[in-house]
């Protein structure tokens, strides 16, 4: 069997300084894949490079030992990025065969991600696979492997809830807003202050349907700068809170020492608004919004602790679902590994059968020419010859398949011996979708 090997690093094992040095730019991917195949005699390769991980998946020659393959991949990364082999060994991990398959499935399904259940990694793996395939790096085996990885990712997202529930403060705010308003389409959000978190939250709200953005700040020029990012409306902050007249959602994040949004002015404003719902998010420390505002009808106030409680609960739910997903990955990886081994043995079995049939056909033709066999006799001799071939090959082929199914490490040597002893012309099968 051609070994599948993965070498890489991620946020789990290496600091960002090392990951930056090991990263491949989009422009480098094609060249790197081609270099790996040509200079290091790797048959297939896919390189995945994101902000959190850099990984190389390779299919090597079946005659190479695991140690030789590992050394070859370390040399490739060391030469390409001019990083010492010692640093690579310190900050990278190495997986072979079943472990490499299972690791890819965990990566693709986001079980190995910084935030379990995030969906971005699936698109990143698909992009890496497409780039490597265009460069000639992904062929028979890696085509099958990555296609299966995407299928497992889809299965986990359909059979578990690992990707549901907000697991960041900004997404928790979006989740709560949806519960209050049912839909965010056409709603208006007001940002009080110009903090990074409030901007991020507003960005997520806009991507979920909020159509209008108001930015209020004591420094009007700063309000203009932030409003431009959302094609929004800048307004000057005033204690009467009139700038919130049209706001459905309010996000406040400033460094003010005291409350900027107080109960009485907001109660007056709510009456003018005829008590239209208002959702207020206070992510400032110290708080910007007076807690008693929650006593105003149709005003819903959440502070950063409330949002963190939502995130914690959702993370707990995701961890429970992750355990189910891990079981699926383990089963699917073992099943794929077994199928792949049989898949790689089949060309040898077919080539051996083909060789025996060709020899038999040739000898039968010579026999018919010499012995002047009748058609009935020729059919009988052909049938007998085919039965002999079937019986001769039955036990060797049965035992070879048993060796593969039982995980016998010697089966690769059996295949190699058959290919060499019978001088077989083995052609790899085309991958199936």
Task: List, as one string, the DSSP characters of 195-251.
Answer: -HHHHHHHHHHHHTT--EEEEEESSHHHHHHHHHHTT-EEEE--TT-GGGTT-SEEE
State the pLDDT at residue 328: 96
Identify the residue whose tokens are 């690769």: 412
Pairing mode, if any, of strands 249-252 and 278-282? Answer: parallel
Cα dihedral 292, 295, 296, 297 in deg (nearest 10): 160
State the pLDDT at residue 404: 67
Q: Round to whole Å and give the CA distance between 268 and 241.
A: 9
Question: Is 51 noted as a catalytic residue in this protein?
Answer: yes
Q: Round to whole Å and give the CA distance between 84 and 14.
A: 15
State the pLDDT at residue 278: 97
209: left (phi over 0), alpha (psi -120 to 50) or beta: left
Q: How far is CA 294 from CA 190, 230, 272, in A?
A: 18, 29, 18
Residue 181: other Cβ atoms inside 10 A: 18
Q: Round to whole Å and give the CA distance between 203 and 174.
A: 10
Cα dihedral 56, 112, 115, 26 in deg (nearest 10): 10
Domain ranges of the chain: 4-163, 169-311, 339-421
**DSSP string covering 345-359, please?**
HHHHHHHHHHHHHHH
Sheet hosting strand 4-10, strand order edge to edge: 44-49, 53-59, 4-10, 93-96
State the pLDDT at residue 261: 97
Cis peptide before 341 (omega within 30 of 0): no
Q: Which CATH class is domain 169-311?
A: alpha beta
- Residue among 264, 271, 309 nearest 289 (CA): 264
E runs forming strands in 15-145: 44-49, 53-59, 93-96
231: left (phi over 0), alpha (psi -120 to 50) or beta: left
Q: Of these residues, 16, 39, 51, 245, which one is catalytic?
A: 51
State the pLDDT at residue 433: 34
Q: Round to whole Å and give the CA distance between 352 and 346.
A: 10
For the chain, list residues with pLDDT below 70: 1, 62-64, 165-166, 344, 403-412, 427-433
CATH architecture entry for 4-163: 2-Layer Sandwich (3.30)
Q: How far is CA 293 from CA 36, 193, 249, 299, 303, in A?
A: 63, 19, 14, 7, 12
Q: How far is CA 186 from CA 123, 189, 247, 302, 377, in A?
A: 29, 10, 11, 22, 86
Tokens of 320: 């429970």
State the pLDDT at residue 430: 46
Q: Round to whole Å and give the CA distance between 310 and 289.
A: 20
User: Is pTM, for the whole model, over 0.75?
Assistant: no
Q: Are 138 and 46 in contact (CB under 8 A)?
A: yes
């Amino acid at each position: 069997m051609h070994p599948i090997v993965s070498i890489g690093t991620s946020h789990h094992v290496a600091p960002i300084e090392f990951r930056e040095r090991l990263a491949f730019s989009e422009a480098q991917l094609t060249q790197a894949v081609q270099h790996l195949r040509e200079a290091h005699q790797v048959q297939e390769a896919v390189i995945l490079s994101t902000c959190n991980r850099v990984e190389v998946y390779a299919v090597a020659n079946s005659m190479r030992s695991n140690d030789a393959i590992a050394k070859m991949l370390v040399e490739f990364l060391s030469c390409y990025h001019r990083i010492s082999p010692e640093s690579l060994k310190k900050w990278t991990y190495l997986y072979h065969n079943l472990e490499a398959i299972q690791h890819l499935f965990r990566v693709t399904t986001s079980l190995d991600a910084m935030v379990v259940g995030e969906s971005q990694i699936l698109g990143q793996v698909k992009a890496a696979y497409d780039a490597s395939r265009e460069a000639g790096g992904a062929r028979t085996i890696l085509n099958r492997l990555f296609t299966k990885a995407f299928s497992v990712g889809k299965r986990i997202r359909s059979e578990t809830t690992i990707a549901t529930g907000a697991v960041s403060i900004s997404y928790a705010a979006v989740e709560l807003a949806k519960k209050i308003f049912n839909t965010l389409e056409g709603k208006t959000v007001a940002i009080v202050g110009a903090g990074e978190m409030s901007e991020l939250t507003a960005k997520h709200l806009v991507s979920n349907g909020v159509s209008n953005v108001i930015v209020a700040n004591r420094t009007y020029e700063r309000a203009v700068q932030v409003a431009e990012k959302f094609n929004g409306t800048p307004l000057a902050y005033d204690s009467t809170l009139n700038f919130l007249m049209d706001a459905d959602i309010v996000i406040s994040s400033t460094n003010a020492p005291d409350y900027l949004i107080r109960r009485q002015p907001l109660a007056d404003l709510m009456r003018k608004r005829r008590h239209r719902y208002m959702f207020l998010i206070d992510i400032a420390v110290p708080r910007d919004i007076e807690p008693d505002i929650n006593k105003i009808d149709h005003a819903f106030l959440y502070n950063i602790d409330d949002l963190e409680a939502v995130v914690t609960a959702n993370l707990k739910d995701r961890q429970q679902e992750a355990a189910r997903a891990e079981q699926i990955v383990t089963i699917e990886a073992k099943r794929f590994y077994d199928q792949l081994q049989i898949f790689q043995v089949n060309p040898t079995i077919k080539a051996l059968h083909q060789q025996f049939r060709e020899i038999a056909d040739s000898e039968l033709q010579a026999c018919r020419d010499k012995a002047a066999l009748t058609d009935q006799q020729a059919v009988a001799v052909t049938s007998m010859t085919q039965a002999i071939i079937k019986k001769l090959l039955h036990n060797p082929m049965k035992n070879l398949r048993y060796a593969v199914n039982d995980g016998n490490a010697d089966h690769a040597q059996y295949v190699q011996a058959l290919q060499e002893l019978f001088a077989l012309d083995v052609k790899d099968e085309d991958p199936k979708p």
